[in-house]
Amino acid sequence: MPLKMSWIPKIHFEISERKILLRLFDLAAIFSMLAFLVIFFQFDYFKINSERWEWTLVLATYYSVFAVIFEMYDLQKAASFQTTLQNVILTVSVTVLFFILTPFLTPVLPENRLQIVYFYFAMVLGLLIWRYAYITLISAPRFNKRILIVGNSYDINLIAENLHIADPNYRVIGYINTDAIKKDALDRRLKAIEVSDLVDSISKFSVSEIVVASPSKGVGIDLYNQLMLLLGEGFPIREYTQVYEEITQRVPVQHVERDFYKYFPFSRSNKNRFYLTISRLFNIIFAIGVLIIAIFLLPLVLVGNMLGNRGPLLYFQDRVGQNGKLFTILKLRTMVKNAESNGAQWAQKSDRRITPFGKILRNTRVDEIPQCINILKGEMSLIGPRPERPVFVKELSQKIAFYDIRHVVKPGLTGWAQVRGRYVNSVDDTLEKLQYDLFYIKHRNLFLDLNILLKTISTVIYYRGQ
């Protein structure tokens, strides 16, 4: 007998939908404002028509690339108008600069230079109007996705916190506890739902999705029957590890049992000859290009090292590479001499061992440039998990399940964990870093590599290197 339900799911935009929405409407706002200039003012620098279609394509391409670099599609930042204002100005400024500096692809500069000013401010104004509407309407609480968690009380608080941090529009409003621990131990802001009240609660609290957190003991027969009836009525019910990975773009290894290999199908790109060949070719071109640029930076680095570091320019250190093989990594020295006289230790965010000049090298990632030699030797790749020291690998492998899996691919100069994660100075931070690394190994492809490369440029521009 079908279940009669009166619930009407609230409108909610998924993360992927919001990012697509931002991309499409950003371009629509830009070109609408430029078309407005052409129609109502004597603006003839940029026209949208079939004869000059390449101008539109070039402008859209430039904007799309720099919008990624300047974090226009970071949903947390997109929800703040102050941050959006800053990012819009930066993105449009660089986009317009590149547009006018490539006259073989774009219009010839007009005699009336004010037209460039109109061009610039039209783009800024169009974007700000649209982004203000986005913040006011789509990012508003009325579009929050309201979630009900089914799981063990031990995990519910952490699950709710992780989901909300990853996506502020993802609200856990209640839970069904599947173990015998008292509900007082849980966050009192979350509504405790009895199994018998599940259907009524969905309508009462406007629940739009149920997330089952894979409790180790399973769910009782009554709850199972309720979930099956809801599923049969088309109500969205999803498993937590899938939701977590989709929202956070990390693999939740702490919630996966020992059947990890069933859950974790490795990326086909790990054996894809085309991907590996293209990746290797790009690695070589990139490494050679960076080393050529480094020749011109070398005098500045030598002077800075002599005055700020007062010691050897380079240091060499053993790291664990692909399949656990050791190799010697090259880096510009950023710490005082004999920084580890008391043994190996984690680098802290405000580590006193880091010299003032070393901090500049780290924040700009210039200290990593010598690793291009490791890339040319085939010991590293441009994109991949950062290589760790053997002493830490041994320690972390004993404390963190599945840690050794990050060694199935070559270590990288930069990686998903570097552009998405926080500063690593503890085992807990390393767990988060591992989640990002495993997400990359599971999903890696040319588009993800390009995304990481663009976000790495953002890291350098915003001076957030580690």
Please say whether the beta carbons of 385 and 437 come within 8 A: yes
Q: Report how far apart, in Å, the C-alpha atoms of 261 and of each of 214, 257, 405, 411 are.
A: 17, 10, 10, 21
Task: Name the more confident of 50 and 398.
Answer: 398
Please say whether the beta carbons of 371 and 380 come within 8 A: yes
What does DSSP assign to residue 354?
B
pLDDT digits (tens, 9 = 90+) for 46-75: 887 777 788 889 999 999 999 999 989 988
pLDDT reported for residue 80: 87
Q: Which residues contact 62 (CB under 8 A, 6 or more apart)?
A: 95, 98, 99
pLDDT reported for residue 2: 47
Query: What is the Cα–Cα distance from 283 to 145, expressed in whole angstroms?
Result: 41
pLDDT digits (tens, 9 = 90+) for 420-438: 877 666 777 788 899 999 9
Beta bridge partners of 175: 149, 192
Query: What is the Cα–Cα distance from 436 to 455, expressed in whole angstroms?
Result: 14
Query: What is the Cα–Cα distance from 220 to 178, expressed in whole angstroms?
Result: 8
Task: Name the more confident of 267 and 199.
Answer: 199
Q: Is the pLDDT of residue 454 over 70?
A: yes
Section 143-167 average pLDDT: 77
Q: Domains in the chain and their CATH numbers?
A: 15-138 (no CATH), 144-248 (3.40.50.1980), 268-461 (no CATH)
pLDDT reported for residue 226: 87
pLDDT reported for residue 161: 79
| SS3 sequence of 82-145 | HHHHHHHHHHHHHHHHHHHCCCCCCCCCCCCCHHHHHHHHHHHHHHHHHHHHHHHHHCCHHHCE
Q: Is the pLDDT of residue 141 over 70?
A: no
Please say whether the beta carbons of 358 and 466 come within 8 A: no
Q: Is the pLDDT of residue 83 over 50?
A: yes
Q: Report how far apart, in Å, the C-alpha atoms of 433 and of each of 81, 284, 355, 423 are.
A: 30, 26, 25, 9
Q: Is the pLDDT of residue 1 over 70?
A: no
pTM of the model: 0.80
Q: Which contacts qualify for 261-266: CB closer than 8 Å, 24 or more apart?
A: 264/405, 264/438, 264/442, 265/442, 266/408, 266/441, 266/442
pLDDT band of residue 165 (cuts 50, 70, 90) is: confident
Provide the mean pLDDT of the chain.
83
Query: What is the Cα–Cα distance from 413 to 309, expressed in whole angstroms?
Result: 23
